[in-house]
Chain A
Amino acid sequence: MRYKVLTVDDSKTVRIIVKKAFKPYDCEIREAANGVEGLAVAAKESPDLILLDVTMPVMDGVEMLTKLKADPALKGIPVMMLTAEGGRDNVLKIAKIGVRDYLVKPFKEEVLIEKCGRIIDLKPLTEGPAKSKSIFDPADILVVEDKPAIVQQIQDGLKHTPWKIRGVVAQGEAIDACTRQPPDVVLVSLSLAEEAAFTLFRLLRTNVKTKYTPVFALVVKTETQQQQQAQTVGFSAIITKPIDTGELETKIAKAMNLDTSQRYYATEHECLVLRLPENCTAPVLAEAAHYLKPKFTEAVDAGHNKVVIDVHQLRSLHMGVIKLLFQAMQTCRELAMQFALVANAQIISECKGFEDTRGWTFYDSLDEAKANLGKTAPAPSASPLAAAAA
């Protein structure tokens, strides 16, 4: 839902500053230069929030507020005063008419947004249909953990990524860090003293800049009660200690909605390459399979009809890998793409041992496969596994 915010101020400067402050958020700004205009725009647009100045020509903010609150159709619209009029008595008088908040000028844009974020659910604007962030893009991960060894372990485990891992030890430091530069993901240790992790979670959720930031709980594997509590509160994911950094990386990528296809798919010299890593665990295969159809279709759409399925890094063959390879070959046939397989001696030998894979033709290198694309007969497809993959 796109929120509408009405700014009523005789100063164009203030209206521009307000627009500037709300620019990164998914909301529309309406403007009025005095109380009369403000009431008219409020009646026409039904804004979700009104920011109201006091001293204005034609009709001042106090009169507009009084009329607004007397109108049954408009009285429900929350009003926040944004004015240089800040004497105690005047504020109390205005507050009694009915305002949700009061911000005295001069003001910082962040404070305005924070206060407005308590009244309406401000969501950061996603930049149109731009391409999603990939696994190779930098990201900022904040780890709130009082044990330096854990922070070090996470930094070491994720050092192959372009992610910056920052460690802080206490709740206050975490809030400061989030205010300065909101991270992409926050990892919080549930073992922080005095349930600080839960307090921090609540604070992050009430701050407009971090309310949608994924927050993971770090907890010892056997602490099931704490894990349940974290789930109930609404932590985005639970990471158990000892930490499996591979799992952590997958969960972070998922939480950030990163495009991880580049881990497995690449276009090299007008040829799509599907490359499987040495250790194909179930999550890895699921991730590669998730992108298979879209990536193959995208290649055809771009005019590339050649595919190399490269498993030369693979350490051992198992049913999950065979199923994925069948699925890839089946997709090639459906899209009339030429394909070739590349593998190491170990995998080629293992393939000879299975009925379904015995007839597959492999090449030793990518270049050899590319050179022979189209010359090889497609692998047989009439096997139970091929049918299952299809």
Chain B
Amino acid sequence: MPALADINETLTRFYINRAVSDVFRTMLGREPTISQCFDRMPGDDAPSTIEHHRPQIVGTVGFFGEVNGLVYLHLDLTFARICTCHLLDMTEAALDEAGDDVINDAIGELTNMTVGSFKNGLCDSGYSCKLTIPSIVRGSNFVIEPISSATRQIYYFDCEEHRVIADILIQRDE
């Protein structure tokens, strides 16, 4: 297995860009592009935080094995609803009737596909790992803070008028 230090920002950016692009293009017919990124190494004083001004749905899937980490995928609620309607071929009215669980499940699956694609890249680079089951966080005012031994990279994707944020935490303890 190569050293964990070899999973640098360039590699991470390549895999997450490929993953988000593949998933959003294949499943939703959209073309997201990276607009900003933040990179924080373990021990950095100022943790990057993601500020939200609108209700959010955040999907989380972890990967464990020769490399351990988590990816949070942030979508604002409006976009999450659009994605769900597209995936399930539903109208907004039908989605209102179906309830929040349907949105949670759809965003959980989008996150699962995105993190799956990301971690498959890591696997093929020699870091064998497996996925965890997705979970969902919903809210308007929250902060996700990493433990100090993790690196954190945050990628902002523009997806037409919407924004998708991929927040990647990788455990650096060898």
Contact = CB atoms under 8 A, between A and B. Distances in A.
Interface of A: 10-14, 16-17, 20, 54-57, 83-90, 104-108
A84 B87 contact: no
B89 A89 contact: no
Contact of A104 (B106, B115, B120, B132): B120
Given A55-B133, A87-B124, A88-B123, A13 B116 contact: no
Contact of A87 (B26, B120, B132, B133): B120
A108 B108 contact: no
A13 B136 CA distance: 14
B17 to A, nearest CB: 15
Contacts of B122: 87
B48 interface: no
Given A90-B128, A104-B116, A105-B113, 12 more contacts: A13-B102, A20-B88, A20-B89, A83-B116, A84-B117, A85-B116, A85-B130, A86-B120, A87-B119, A104-B117, A105-B116, A106-B22
B113 A13 contact: no
Given A16-B88, A106-B22, A86 B128 contact: no
A95 to B, nearest CB: 15
A149 to B, nearest CB: 40
Nearest 10 pairs of A and B residues by beta carbon: A84-B116, A87-B123, A106-B26, A11-B109, A86-B120, A13-B109, A105-B113, A13-B106, A106-B23, A106-B113
A106 B27 contact: yes
A84 B124 contact: no
Contact of A14 (B22, B109, B120, B123): B109
| Binding site secondary structure of chain A | loop
Contacts of A88: 123-124
Contacts of B116: 83-86, 104-105
Nearest to A55: B131
A20 B87 CA distance: 10
A59 to B, nearest CB: 12
Contacts of B105: 11-13
A14 B115 CA distance: 16
| Binding site secondary structure of chain B | helix
A108 B88 CA distance: 13
Contacts of A54: 131
A226 B10 CA distance: 58
Nearest to B121: A87
Nearest to A87: B123
B68 interface: no
B130 A90 contact: yes
11 contacts: A11-B109, A12-B102, A13-B109, A16-B88, A54-B131, A84-B112, A85-B131, A87-B122, A87-B123, A90-B123, A104-B117
A161 B124 CA distance: 56
Contacts of B84: 13
Contacts of B117: 84, 86, 104-106
A338 to B, nearest CB: 54
A54 B129 CA distance: 13
Nearest to B103: A13
- Find the residue from A12, A13, A17 having the highest chain B CB count within 10 A: A13
A177 to B, nearest CB: 21
Nearest to A86: B120
Nearest to B84: A13
A88 B132 CA distance: 18
Contact of A84 (B89, B115, B128): B115
Contacts of A107: 26
Nearest to A53: B112
Interface string B66-89: 000000000000000000100111
Interface string B121-161: 01110001111111000000000000000000000000000
